Structure 1
Amino acid sequence: MSCTIVIPTVGRPSLARLLAALDRPADVLVVDDRRDRSAELGVPGWVTVLPGPARGPAAARNLGWQTAESEWVAFLDDDVVPEPGWLDHLAEDLAAAPEEVGGVQGRLIVPLPPDRRPTDWERVTAGLATGEWITADMAYRRVALARAGGFDERLPRAFREDAELAFRVRRGGWSLRRGRRRVTHPVRPEGPWVSVRTQRGNADDALLRRLYGPRWRALLDVPEGRRPRHAVIAAAGLAALACGAAALATGHRGWVGAAGLAAAGWAAGTAEFAAARIAPGPRDPREVATMLATSVVIPPLAVAHWLRGWWRWRAARPIPVITVGGERSAGDRARAEAGR
């Protein structure tokens, strides 16, 4: 049973550690997705390196599986470490998959500090260990990828693109299962503002809402987030600013009272959000300060990214899916007929 391993990378040093963890040479395609490719990756000679499109991991993975000619394609992130014997365990996982199984996920281990509580970022990374169908270690039949249309390149980040693909693969009539192979996913060092940067993913959530409707989280097995609460906090803050401006302009006490009430609501919501992030963490001064500062910024930023995505993807449509029997799915046929 043939399998190609596809690894998109932006040149992180962890790639060398990943390749060294493989016990022997294998059919590996590394898609170099850096915009600046002036430096060599320094990979072993048995690894094939493809210049990537520099449009994010979804596009890089599409290039990888479309280049591969094997029956199966296994995707690895460039910051995981396969366990000893991973290649053998991968082969066992794929050999045990019945014909109706279109994909087999590996098991992820996220090591956390043994001597203290994890930080907010460490807890976010630890959530990968229980994630469904994430491409940190996920193998698909090549035919299942082709019939599903591959990764949706409108999702440019390593965020939701794997869950969305898994949904389309299952909608095409395939089943997915977990295998027995394992990789370790160390927590990548990040700066204090990483939680602010990740709010850009709200624009991707807006795309998924456009594609699949209000039940998109249930369909894609994505847990509920805090964006509704963020919207309330952001609205309270905006109201406080607007009422405050009106009070300054008119001197009317009613506007002063309204501004105070809205500000109190904003402060209460922000305090609750910060407390929810601080309580499970190490609570050292640096972590507390980071949580306080970012908790002020995140709610309005999350809403702004959502609105940006909602407008940008106002005419978005799902990628058509071909079922196992060779026909488009019923949902895709109905959409095609409605668009005539």
Structure 2
Amino acid sequence: MPPVPTIWIAIPTFRRPAQLRHLLETLAAIIPHDDVRLLVADNDPVGQEGAAVAHEMQDDPHYPLPIRILHVPEPGLCSVRNAIIATALADPAMHYLAMIDDDEWPQPGWLDALLACREASGADVIGGPVDAHFMRPPPRWARSALVFQAEDRPSGPTSMLWASNNLLLTRAALALLPAPWFDPRFNRSGGEDLDYLTRLRDAGARFGWAADARVSEWVPPERVRLGWVLSRMWRIGFTETLTRRKHRPGIIGTLALFGRTLAVFAMRTAGLLALLLPGARRVDIAGQWIKCWGRLYALAGGGSRAFYGAE
């Protein structure tokens, strides 16, 4: 008898035990499926706080979902994501792999919405929106800042997905690319999910969007600062351009990216005049301008900075 298809929900974690506990408790409360398995991948070789939380849930006879704990001592985003995919593919019963981060938690109906989109669209990879949840009441500018806004697009087939923090992949999609699935060159800079999804698209994967498959993300007070938001916009520009340079190699590709970036930079610089207008969304205007500087830094050959990973 062939193995019963299962759904793996993978959670990479790094020194966020309280958030991970909240996520695991939420999954237990809203996931009714008896074919779901959890995979907690702890990327901290020292404290292993995430593994300790997962072990506690494992030992709780009332916790309804089976948990597998994966220790990934090699630091970095790509290391832990690659270990997750390798572990999931080693299970012949694994049919779907859902990815969610340890500082998030799903809303009711999350997994069902992802699976329904898969069934309706035939997509190989399905994404969903991520809503910001501020841990303290934020200033008014933060509530409307683009960096804290969830993507808003209709459910159904879509041409591209951008992130892996709310994602469902079929086994067939995972098999489209060889290991390492996430390029280690992005291990500490970020942008590894955009690179992976770009390669999946180029390999023929079909993408879908499930507008009702919502997850929430904790936004701690230290992120609700102008300096953090502008730094985040710089990083987005930097990592996006690193990815685009990889996929458009050679002098011709670099010149094309450079010309496009200069045109956008000129437009954003002219748009700074809008900062003087009453009611202007000043944080977003400044952020888009700063994002261009991150792009220019990447095009100028700026090295890959370590924004993530063990310290």
TM range (shorter): 0.5 to 0.7
Give the greater-gyration-radius structure (CA).
1
- CA drift of 1:146 comes to 2.9
* Cα distance between partner residues in 2 of 1:114 and 1:296: 27
* Cα distance between partner residues in 2 of 1:190 and 1:272: 29
State the partner residue of 2:239: 204
Task: Map Cα deviations across residues 121-171 of structure 1 (whole Å, 9 max, x no partner).
Answer: 953121555693421210112332232242223223584332322222222
State the AA in 1 paired with 2:186.
L
Identity %: 24
Pick aligned residue for 1:119 from 131, 134, 142: 142
Alignment of 1:189-338 (within 5 A): 189-191=221-223, 192=225, 193-195=227-229, 197-198=231-232, 199-213=234-248, 229=265, 272=273, 279-280=280-281, 303-304=296-297, 306-309=299-302
Q: Say which SS state the counterpart of residue 85 (structure 2) adopts.
A: helix
Q: Say which SS state the counterpart of residue 221 (structure 2) adopts.
A: coil
Pairwise CA RMSD of aligned residues?
4.4
* Cα distance between partner residues in 1 of 2:295 and 2:231: 10
Distance verdict in 2 for CA 1:205–1:93, change over 3 Å:
closer
State the partner residue of 2:53: 42
Contact 1:205 1:306 (8 Å CA) reproduced: no
TM-score normalised by L of structure 1: 0.59
State the partner residue of 1:142: 171
State the partner residue of 1:32: 42
- Does 1:183 pair with 2:207? no
Unaligned runs of 5+ in 2: 59-65, 154-159, 305-311
Contact 2:12 2:102 (8 Å CA) reproduced: yes
State the partner residue of 2:187: 156
Contact 2:236 2:294 (8 Å CA) reproduced: no
Unaligned runs of 5+ in 1: 234-268, 282-286, 313-340
TM-score normalised by L of structure 2: 0.64
Contact 1:32 1:51 (8 Å CA) reproduced: yes
* Cα distance between partner residues in 2 of 1:189 and 1:115: 8
Q: Say which SS state the counterpart of residue 27 (structure 1) adopts.
A: strand
Contact 1:110 1:129 (8 Å CA) reproduced: no
